[in-house]
Structure 1
Amino acid sequence: MSDIPTLPVTFRPGRTRAILLTAGVAILVVLSGIAMLLEFTPGERVSFIVTGALIFWALAQLARVKVVADESGVTVVNIAGKRHLDWAEIVQVNLRPGDPWVFLNLSDGTSLPALGIQPGVAKQRAIADAGALRALAEAHAATRQGQDQR
Structure 2
Amino acid sequence: MSAPAPQPELPITFRPTRTRVVLLAVGILLFVTLLAIALALPSLSPGERISFIFTGVLFCGVLALLARPKVVAERDGVTVTNLTTVRRLEWPEILKVNLRPGDPWVFLDLADGTSLPVLGIQPGIAKAQAIDDARALRALAETYGTGDHTR
TM over 0.5: yes
- Distance in 2 (alpha carbons) for counterparts of 1:18 and 1:50: 22
- Distance in 2 (alpha carbons) for counterparts of 1:34 and 1:101: 37
Equivalent residue number for residue 8 of structure 2: 5
Equivalent residue number for residue 132 of structure 1: 136
Note if contact 2:93-2:145 (Cα within 8 Å) is conserved in structure 1. no
User: What code does the residue aligned with 1:8 have?
Assistant: P
Unpaired segments of 5 or more residues in structure 2? none
- Distance in 2 (alpha carbons) for counterparts of 1:98 and 1:31: 36
Name which of 18, 21, 30 aligns with 1:27. 30
Are 2:18 and 1:15 aligned? yes
Tell me how far 1:80 sits from its aligned partner.
1.1
Name which of 55, 62, 69 aligns with 2:59. 55
Equivalent residue number for residue 96 of structure 1: 100
Q: Deviations over 1:91-134 (max 9, x none)?
A: 00000000000000000000000000000010000000000000
Q: With the length of structure 1 as denominator, give the TM-score of the two structures.
A: 0.94
Structure in which a larger fraction of residues adopt helix:
1
Tell me how far 1:67 sits from its aligned partner.
0.3
* Runs (4+) off by over 2 Å: 141-146
- Distance in 1 (alpha carbons) for counterparts of 2:54 and 2:131: 38
Q: With the length of structure 2 as denominator, give the TM-score of the two structures.
A: 0.94
Q: Deviations over 1:6-63 (max 9, x none)?
A: 1000000000000000000000001111111112000000010010001000000110
User: What code does the residue aligned with 1:13 have?
Assistant: P
How many residues of Structure 1 are paired with residues of Structure 2 in the alignment?
146
Aligned-residue CA RMSD (Å): 1.4
Distance 1:35 1:134, change over 3 A: same
Identity %: 58
